[in-house]
A and B are shown apart, each in its own frame.
Chain A
C-alpha cells in the first residue's frame, strides 16, 4: 500500500540529509566559499520549486546533484570555467603512466591529492567527486552529468589517469615532500 505524503514533507526528508554533500560538491566546483553557498541556496530553491516535476521513485540524489551542476554551469564562474574537454587535452593530461609505487606514495599525501583534484579540469574533477566521494553508481553519474553510461566509464578512466599523472608530477616537483 502506497502512502501519499505531502510533497514538501518528502522534499525535506530527501533534501536535508544531502546538505553536506551538496555543499562540499559546490565548493569543489566553485573553489569559492560564498559562491558555493549561493550555489547550494540556488539548488535548494530550484529543487523545491521544481519538486513537483520530480518523479517519485526515481533517484532524488542524482536529480538534485544535477540541479546543482546545471546551476553551476550557468553561473558566472561556471560560464568562465572550461567545463568541456577536448580529446587532445585529455590525452596530454593523461600521460605519462606512473609506477604503482610512486602512486601509492603520492596517495598518502592528502594535501597533494587535494591540490591535484582541484587542478583537474572540471569534467574530470566532478566525475571523480561523484564516483569516489559520493559513491554514485555509473547510472546515477550518467543522470547527473546527462551523458550515456558508456561515456561515464570512459571519462572516469581518463579522469583517474589524469589525477594519477598530476599527483606524481606534483610529488616529483617537490612542492609536497613526503
Chain B
C-alpha cells in the first residue's frame, strides 16, 4: 500500500479510531517506513504536548470547587434555601404583625374599657344621685345587688382604714350588668366595678396605672373582673384593691 493511503489514516490511527485490523496493519507499515514513522511520532508528540499544556492548565479556585461540590452533592437543598428563607421570613413577619395587631387591639380594647369605666365613675359622681343604694354598711349593699346582677361578690371590712363605703348602683359595660360601688377616702371618691370576667372586658392591670389624673387597677378573681378607679394616689387604689382581693 502506498504511503499516501496510510497518511489519510494517520490521524485516526493516533486517535485510536482505526478498527483493530487496520490499526495492526498501520503498525506493521510504520516498522518498515521511516517517513511515516517520523510523521506519526511528530503527531503523537503533538497530541501529548497539547494535552500537557492544556490539560489542568487552569485548576479551579478551592472556594469555587467547594461551593460547586456542595451544590451538586446536596441537590435536594440546592436552590431551595431561598424559598425556605422567604417562607420563613414571611411566616415570621406575619407572626410579628399578628402579634402586634393582637397586642395593639388588646391594648386598645383595654384602654377603651378603662376610659368607659372612667366615664361611668365621673358620670356617677356628677349625678345628683350617684348611688342607688346609699349605705356605709357592706351588709346592706351586697344584698341590694341580688337579683339586679347575675352574680354575687364579697366586700371587705373597712374598719381601721381611712376608707368608707358610700353606696352602690348597677352599671353596664358592653351590655353586661355589673356592680358599681363608690368608696370615699379623704373626700375623694373611688369607684369599684365588678363584672363577670368575660372576653371583652379583660384588662389586666396588676399594679395601678395612672392616666389623666385617674388611677386604675384591675384584676380577675373567681370569675369576676374588678376595676378600681379614682382620682387618688396609686397607694390608695392599691390599698382598696388589696382589701377587695382579700374580702371574704
Contacts and interface: CB of A to CB of B under 8 A. Distances in A.
Given A48-B78, A100-B42, A156-B11, A132 B54 contact: yes
Given A41-B68, A44-B71, A104 B45 contact: yes
B11 A19 contact: no
Contact of A24 (B15, B56, B73): B56
Contact of A19 (B57, B60, B75, B78): B60
A108 interface: yes
Contact of B54 (A37, A48, A104, A129): A129
A79 to B, nearest CB: 22
B56 A100 contact: no
Interface stretch (A7-15, A66-74, A80-88, A169-177): A7-15
B61 to A, nearest CB: 8
* Majority-rule SS of B interface residues: helix
Contacts of A163: 46, 50
B85 interface: no
A28 interface: yes
Contact of B15 (A40, A131, A133): A131
B11 A16 contact: no
Contact of A110 (B12, B45, B53, B60): B53
A23 to B, nearest CB: 4
Interface in B1-29: 11-12, 15-17
A28 B54 contact: yes
B43 A160 contact: yes
Interface residues of A, number: 43
B100 interface: no
Interface residues of B, number: 38
Contacts, number: 113
A60 interface: no
Contacts of A90: none
Contact of A28 (B47, B58, B72): B58
B75 A137 contact: no
Contacts of A164: 46
Interface string A36-54: 1100110011001000000
Contacts of A11: 72, 75
Contacts of A12: 72-73, 75
A37 B64 contact: yes
Contacts of A160: 11, 43, 46
B52 interface: yes
A41 B43 CA distance: 35
Interface of A: 8, 11-12, 15-16, 19-20, 23-24, 27-28, 33, 36-37, 40-41, 44-45, 48, 100, 103-104, 107-108, 110-111, 113-114, 117, 128-129, 131-133, 135, 137-138, 153, 156-157, 160, 163-164
21 contacts: A8-B75, A8-B76, A11-B72, A20-B60, A23-B58, A24-B54, A24-B59, A33-B58, A37-B60, A44-B71, A45-B79, A100-B39, A104-B45, A107-B48, A110-B53, A111-B53, A113-B54, A117-B53, A117-B54, A132-B55, A138-B17
